[in-house]
Amino acid sequence: MNKALRKAVIAGNWKMNKTPAETTALINEMKPLVADAGCDVVLCTPFVDLQAALEATAGSNIGVGAENCHFEKSGAFTGEVAAPMLTEMGVQYVIIGHSERRQYFGETDETVNKRTLAALENGLTAIVCVGETLTQREQGVTAELVAMQTKIALLNVTAEQLKKVIIAYEPVWAIGTGRTATAEQAGEVCALIRATVASLYGKEAADGLTIQYGGSMNAGNAEELLAQPDVDGGLIGGASLKAPDFAAIVKAASK
């Protein structure tokens, strides 16, 4: 990562794990371990845990995020949560377009774009996920696919709004599989995402963009991944559910 140009951000993605009581307990365990972090620290939790997370993190250096938001402000969308609802609670971040949402819940590049715009219009920082499947990597279309996902996600996002965008490169084949991209593979695609953003917004804006790697990042491999110049942090699933493991990744990003 290049700390002179941009912020390192380590974000946990708890997925569908932890009850509110477990949220309080895990954050209380994490707080002292990450208190002197030299990077931004974020925890994205299930909707029902957000209140507990906000209370447990109050006065600490941990930011709180949701794992999705709808693109409409309100309406007949049973089971969905709108961006203004999150903002009013004090939530600062939201993950958009995670591959599990694309795979299991019909999320498309178009809905990712709409949700990204809704998040930004409501002052949230959007952690926008892109990444290829194993088949796509084997077909040799990773570069084209990730550039396309990035471009569509950012349609109509202004240069000012881009300052509140984080892009997370998450190769689908590395998520929850224990199979991490090599540091070179991660670095290569993150550089490509930066070049794509530079083609849309210019070099300075692209240099200021935080690009995370996600996919089986853990205490053992974080340092090597984060040593890549275009990898500015991580979106951490499994390892964010264990305080010592998450703290070790935060420590690696703080160097």
Using rule CB under 6 A, residue 220 touches ligand PGA:
no
Q: Residue from 26, 190, 235, 247 that binds ligand PGA (CB under 6 A)?
A: 235
Q: Residue from 238, 243, 245, 251 that binds ligand PGA (CB under 6 A)?
A: 238
Among 196, 102, 190, 101, which Cα is nearest to 148's?
196
The residue number with the shortest CB distance to ligand PGA is 237
C-alpha 244/C-alpha 77 separation (Å) is 38
CA dihedral 142→125→211→116, nearest 10 degrees, is: 20
> Which DSSP helix (H) or strand (E) runs through 213?
strand 210-214
Q: Residue from 40, 49, 67, 170 that binds ligand PGA (CB under 6 A)?
A: 170
C-alpha 20/C-alpha 51 separation (Å) is 8
**Least Å from the CB of residue 253 to ligand PGA:** 14
- The stretch near ligand PGA (CB under 6 A) out of 33-41, 65-73, 194-202, 236-244 is 236-244
- The stretch near ligand PGA (CB under 6 A) out of 19-27, 34-42, 185-193, 229-237 is 229-237
Nearer to ligand PGA, 72 or 132 (CB): 132
3-class SS of residue 169: strand
- The phi and psi torsions of 10 (rounded to 5 degrees) equal -105, 120
